[in-house]
Every structure is written in structure tokens, then in C-alpha cells.
Amino acid sequence: MQKLLVFSDLHIQDSTIIGLDPIARFTDAFAHALANHPDAQGIVLMGDLTHSGTASEYEMLKPMLADTRMPVTYMMGNHDRREAFVQVFPQATLDNAGFIQTGFDIGDWCVLTLDTLDGPPYHDRHHSGRLCSDRLGWLADMLEQAKDRPITIFTHHPFGDIGFSKLDEIKLENGMDVLGILRSHPMPVHILSGHVHRTISGQWDGVSYTVFKSTCHQNPLNLNEKHTYKFVDEPGGYSVVLFDGPNLIIHTEDFFGA
Ligand SMILES: [Fe+2]
Ligand SMILES: [Fe+2]
């Protein structure tokens, strides 16, 4: 059995968010995960690595990851900025067009991590995601190469609605187009997403998905049409994804210190 440790929505900055310290929260999550899962094959950071996408915030994140020898796969969220990230993490894997997305095999599975950050150009307070034609082409190529292997897609932005009206306004804008591409793959596909700051699972247009909570601040369960961005102090979480032959097993862990 192969294992990945997944962290989403770190929102690293040097001040608190609703009274919570994102650096302390991620430090606790990372320590808890490494102490309990030293046998993991790798780590995926699912975007919103920082709160404002500045080089100084990526500099704060860098030493927090220095003590692990596991390979780390980085992803972009709407709060990130690609150029500042690459300046601090030049070793991150880029595709041929310079987007921060990659693919790798683990067990019987093929993992693809998408870069759904819309831009450049970037627009202030624009938080929905988009896969441009270059990135859609990359996805089609990777699906072709995966052939008869099952696929796990990591995407910061959800492809479809999750029932929180404000978050549904800022999902992946062309998510339905991407789902159409995924459904053409002959083998099982499962989508793992962040962005929402709450643990959710379901199915979009015939494709199953799981959404992970943040390591820091969480979104309360509010399904009425007046949903707002009012975050709450609930335990932070991370995920342990197991690849067991043809089976995919997804655990979530709410941590309370290492
Ligand atoms: Fe976030
Ligand atoms: Fe986000």
C-alpha cells in the first residue's frame, strides 16, 4: 500500500486569521502527520499555500518543509502568485508552458496535480479558477499517457458546486468542460479538491470527489443562499490518501498537536 499526506489551504502569513496563527497551525499539522505517518511516499500541498502570494510569505513556508526527505508536490490556489512562488521554490515542477502542475505514478494509480490559478494577468479579489487551453491540452496528454491506469486528480478549485453559494461562485469556471474530458478516460477517476475549507464528498456529473478542509480556518456548514465568508475556529485537518492496488482510501485527520 502506498500513502500520500495531503495538506490544503495553509494561508501562511505573519499575522492571524480570525485569531488563528496559520504558521502554528501548519507546523502542528505537519508535525502530527510526519510523526504518525513516517512511511508515506510523498506530500501534496493543495494550494492557498500563502494568504497574499508574496515572496516573503513563501520564505516563511520554506523552512517549515526543510526537515522532511519526502518529495513535496506544490500546487497553486487563488491566494497564490506563481512568479513569487517559483522565485522561492525554483525546484518546483513546472509543465512545458510554465504552469505548476505535474503527474506521477503511485502504486497502480496515476496522480495529476493541476494548476487552476487564473492568470496572469491576475485581478484583485478574483478568486475563481480557470484552466486555459494550454493546461487543458496538458491534461488531455496526461490522460492519454495514463492509458489503462486509474487516475486521481488534485485540483485546488472544485469543478462543480458544493452547496455554499459564495464558494460556488468562485469554483473552477470551466469545471464542467474538464469533467467532460475526465469522463472520456476509460478507468476510474477520483477528484481531490481544496479551496472550500471544509471536508465534503460527493459526485459531479458522474465523477466522484472529496474536498479537504484547511490546516487553519474552516468554513461552517451553511447551506442557505445567504452563505458568507464567515470562517470559524474548528480543528485544522489534513488527509492521508492510501493507494491499495485498484482501491483508493481517503482518511481525514483533525489534529490536536503532535
Ligand atoms: Fe483557502
Ligand atoms: Fe482557495
**Nearest Cα to 26, choosing from 212, 214, 193, 199?**
214
Q: For the residues 20-39, what does the mean pLDDT come to?
A: 96
Residue 104 above 80 pLDDT? yes
Of all residues in the chain, the percent with pLDDT exceeding 70 is 99
Which ligand has its closest atom nearest to the C-alpha of 9? Answer: 1
| Cα(233) to centroid(ligand 1), Å | 14
Q: Which amino acid is at 244?
A: D
Residue 258 above 60 pLDDT? no
42-45 and 72-74: which strand pairing? parallel
| Cα(147) to centroid(ligand 2), Å | 31
**How confident is residue 238, by pLDDT bands cut at 50, 70 and 90?**
very high
pLDDT averaged over every residue in the chain: 95
Which ligand has its closest atom nearest to the C-alpha of 77? Answer: 2
Domain-wise residue ranges, the chain? 2-254
* Predicted pLDDT of residue 257: 59
| Cα(46) to centroid(ligand 2), Å | 9
| Cα(246) to centroid(ligand 1), Å | 31
pLDDT in tens, 111-128: 999 999 999 999 888 999
25 three-class SS = helix
pLDDT in tens, 87-103: 999 999 889 899 999 99
Residue 61: DSSP 8-state = H
- Report the topology of domain 2-254: Purple Acid Phosphatase; chain A, domain 2 (3.60.21)
Cell representation of residue 134: 494550454
* Predicted pLDDT of residue 226: 82
| Cα(148) to centroid(ligand 1), Å | 33
Q: First-to-last CA distance in the chain?
A: 24
| Cα(9) to centroid(ligand 1), Å | 4
Q: For the residues 159-181, what does the mean pLDDT come to?
A: 96
